[in-house]
Each structure stands twice: as structure tokens, then as C-alpha cells.
Structure 1
Amino acid sequence: MRYINYNTNGQIWVFIKEGTSVGVISDTKQQLTLQLTLDNGYQFMVTMVYAKCTALERLCLWEDLYTIGLDFSLPWMVGGDFNVIMEEDEKISGLLVYPQEYEDFALSINSCELFDLHFIGNPFTWWKGKSDGECIFKRLDMVVINQALQDLFGHLEIQHLARTGSDHANLQWKLRLKKTKLALTRWSKAKYEDIFKQLLIREEIVKVKEHLFEEHLTSLNNRVLRQAQEEYNLYLYYEEEFWRQKASIQWYNEEDKNTKFFHRLVKGRRKRLALQRVLRSYGTWAEGEEEVLVEAVNFFQHQFIGVIVERILI
């Protein structure tokens, strides 16, 4: 049987096909959050949004999302009409947009560790005006997800469809399970167990073997210590490979061993919505994704060769 429901004020409706178990997590005037369980056992959350028109009224929505993010650790998708843009270039024509109008939105998304999905189609999902006069275009409708959902599902595609019968464009997304990745993950855990747990265990073993060798300088204790060190180094390599793949880095030098760098980069990617520009060392601003990316690469490369470069992030 199909699942049909709507939120507390009847402005958000949801229709779910058969074969999916549904539970309501949160229901307010601006959002409806459901927990979905597929027939294969996979669970994730979906939050449908229809935000109010004023920044003050939207504060309640941001608080709802923050609370959900704190209370649950499931894979999570949030989408709908947010009634606010994320940044200045998501609007054409009309009155000027002040940062205060969209900073709360960006802060809420970052606090929940959500990030915007790449989309296909017209960048503006809403328009107002006449075909023969001045028109205002905005991107008010979008889908954001957390890293857990990205890891659970394979190809996530958002498409902005044509605006027909409404001033808003419909959003269409498709989720495809990463069956191969999930199978490999299970195999990896079975073969290597948890990398980080095993790394801590191997580190403690090395400490014990070092102490034993210092007290009894025998060839046997030396061989045992070397074997423990080799196993420890192997798991250090596994850990570094894990963070390198999470960071999607291809350009680093194989000689550079800095796992903390990859860890910071992964976390930084989740908060990229708040990073709008950086101040170069010679005093000019780098703005836009490409310029900021170039400055970030230069910054870390200079760190690796010992050059200190100051940056101010905005």
C-alpha cells in the first residue's frame, strides 16, 4: 500500500510507493521529516521543506533542522522550497540581496554538516515577471545531503525541470545504491576489521615490544619488535589511504605523509558553503570556487615546503 501524508498545516504532501517503511521524525509548519526503510534494510531520513518568506519566520525552520541533526545520525536528505538563496549569484535582477538575508541559511546547512548537490539544468528554479518585461530569477529550490547519504548511495543526480504551470521548477532526483562499494566495505571490515581501532591496538603492541626489547636485548625480541612495527606501519598506510580517498585528492606527492591534512580537508569540504573568498598574501581577494581552490592548493603546497603564507578566510 502506498504511503500518503502531509505536514501539520497541510502545505507539504508526500507520496511514497509500496515497499518502503515510513516513520515520522518531525512535523512542523515548514518541514516534514520522515525515516525511510527500504525493503533491503537500508535506512535514511528525508526532510521536505516549504519555508516561510521572511528571515525571521525561517529561524524556526533552521532550529528544526539543527535539532534533527543533533538527535539523529542517519543518512539525510533535505530538499524543497527554502525561499532564500544561498549566495548572491543565485539571483538575477530585482532588489539587492544583503548577506544577512542568506547567512542564516548557510550557517544552518553547515551546522548540520549538509552540502549542496550538483544539479543539471537551469540554475534558477523560480521566476517572477512578464515575458515582455523585467523578470526576477532566483534559485530557491534545492537539495542538500550529509556525507552519510553520499556514502550510502551511488550516483545522486538533481535535475531542474522546466517550469510548467508554476513559477517554481520541479526538482527530480535519482538515487542508486552503491552495491559494489557496500559489498567492498563489508569485505574490508571482515578482513581488516576497523582500521582506526586496529591502528590503536598495533600502536600499543609496539610500545610493549619496545619496552620488552629495551629490558632484554635479544635477537628474538628484536625480531618480534620489527614485526610489530611492520604491522603498525601497514595500518598507518591503510589509514592514510582512507583519508586520501575521502578527500578525493590526486595531486599530492607520495612522499608527503600527513594524515591530519587529509582529515582536515575532508571536514573542510563539508563546510565549503561558508567559504566565499580568501585574502591572498599580497593583499588581493580570491573570489569564486576556482580562485579559492587555487589559493587553497598553493597554501598547503607552501606548508609542505616550509613557506609560511598568511590567509584570511571569509
Structure 2
Amino acid sequence: METKLGKDEIKKVQQEIGWSYGIVVPSTARGGGLAILWKSDLAVTLRVQNKWYIDVLIDSRRSDIPWVCIGDFNEVLSVTEKEGGVGRACRQIENFRECLKDTGLRDLRYTGSWFTWAGERRGYGCIWERIDRALGTIEWRNKFLQARLFHIANLASDHCVLLLRLDQCARQADKRVKLFHFEAMWLKHEQCEEVVKEAWETGLQSGRVNPIESCLEGCRIALTKWYSQVFGHVGKKLKQVQRKLQTLETHAIGLANKDQISETRRELNKLYAMEEDMWFQRARSNWAKSGDKNTRYFHEKASSRKKKNTILGLMDESNQWQEDLELIKGIAINYYKKLFSSANTII
């Protein structure tokens, strides 16, 4: 990103954010300038430094570190991201796409205008482009599920201001009512069928006019209780069994605990199959088959669905953007009241 700052000004920024290490290419006549800053717990080796880019090697000893890159990439991802002027070469766009694919970076969702840069060019008139964006790896997007990028109009520059908020929907998440969902992975447990049968029989004997409703309600209550007290959280169980297996294999002496290790491995495989079913169901990837071992893919699809189904805000009747949960509820209720009401009907 072009800093337009000198070394002394970058040092002030470092002091404010508490990142004491960095490499700076100072600006020239208030133009250009680059900087890469980091905390003291990173090992960073400089490879190449010039006025166009800074190339460094980061030794993290981990391949799953969450990454997010935000700023002016000076490139578009499709022809629809530019209007006016000379069209972008298809090969140029494809190279940018390949770069993101190789690094595992994906575009983050945003709120605001489609284009992030606008400028006048002699002979071409006004040109609009979407060249500023935020990109994140799967690890980063799964860690910050509620993250949202905002494109904010800016009179001081021809670029939009990019504001990345990490806690967009965390404000009142605890107030949401959690709906009941039957989990496909429960079918792999030997007690599931018996729990359903017992609840269904109880419902049939309830004496209600509509026994099916009673049966379904009884199954919901019984399965919820069974999940909480018996089945348990698959993710937590996986970690526990993984640690158990690690301990057994670390302290293995001859054939003394061979049977215990084999039993633990079978238990771990069963839990992996349950986890795969869980994420497969949440991803709703109907074209895939259970057993494909695509848990990482299913997790990403499920996380994407959760983001897509989240309402961050709504425009009220005065064309004002509202993010307060109670105001959002009121806007939605009023909209559908008007939609389904007539002159003689009040909902």
C-alpha cells in the first residue's frame, strides 16, 4: 500500500500501534512509499526492497496461520470491476486470479459502493474500478466469521476508505433463539434410534387431537436432552480422543497397550466420520457424497452459508442504514405487515 509517509512518520505509527519492527521505503515528494511492520515475536528476513515492493520471508513454522490482506491491489478480478477507459487484458485478470488461488486468499464480503476508485483520464472521461479489497485465507475467515468490510466514500482521495470490522454481529448474538436441527451424524450412534422410538410412542399416547405434533415435539425435547447429556460435542470429543491417542503412542512399550491404541484409533475414526457428516449437512453440498473426506471444504461452505444468512443491517423507510437488532426486527415486521395487508385486513 502506498504510505505517502517518510521514515519518521512511519516510526510514529509504529509507536501508536506497538509494532516496533519494520522495513520502510520512504515516500518521495509526498508520493509513493512502502512499509511492512511486525511484532517482535516474528522472524522476518528481507529478500528484496525497492520503491515498487518489499519482499520478505516469514518463518512461522506453521502453515495454518490466519492471513488477511487489505488495500489497493491495482488490479481487478473480472471485467465487471472496471467501467470506462481501456479494458483490462483478460490474461492480466487471470494472472491475478491465479495468484489468489495459489495463496489461498478469497474476497471478503463488503457493504458499500461496487467501485472503490474513480478518476478522470484525458480522452476517456471518468473511469471507475474496484481495485481496493480485503482478502483472507480459510483459516482467517473461519476465525472471524462475523468480519465485514465497508467501502466508505472519501473526499480526500480518489480511493474509498476500507474499514474492516471483526465483530459486526457479535453485539447481540446471545439473544438469538437457537432452532432445533436433527443432526445426520446422530444416526451413527447406537442409542439414537431408541431415543426417537421411545419419544414417538409417548407422543402417540398423549391423547391429543393431533398426535403427530406431539410426537415431533417429544422427539425434539428427547433428542436435545440426549445430545446434551450423552452424545456431546463432537469437536471437543475429537480433541480429547486425539490427545488420548497421542499419549498412548508416546508411552507405548512393546505390545503392552496395543489393544488400547487400536480401540482408540477406531473411536477416533468414528468421530471423524461423525464430524464429516455434521459439516456435510451444514454445507448442503448435495452433489457430494458422505465419506468423501472433504471436511475442510464442508466447513468452509457451512461458514460461507452462515455469513450469507446473517443480516448485518437494513435500510429503514427514511433510507437510513440501521444495525441495531431491535430496529432491524421492527423494519422487517413493518415491511411484511404492509406487504401482506390490504385496506380491510390488519395483521
Scaled by the length of structure 1, the TM-score of the pair is 0.50
Q: Comparing both chains, which one has the higher relative contact order based on Cα–Cα distances under 8 Å and sequence gaps of 6 or more? A: 1
TM-score, normalization by structure 2? 0.46
Q: Which has the higher strand share?
A: 1
In terms of Rg, which structure is larger?
2
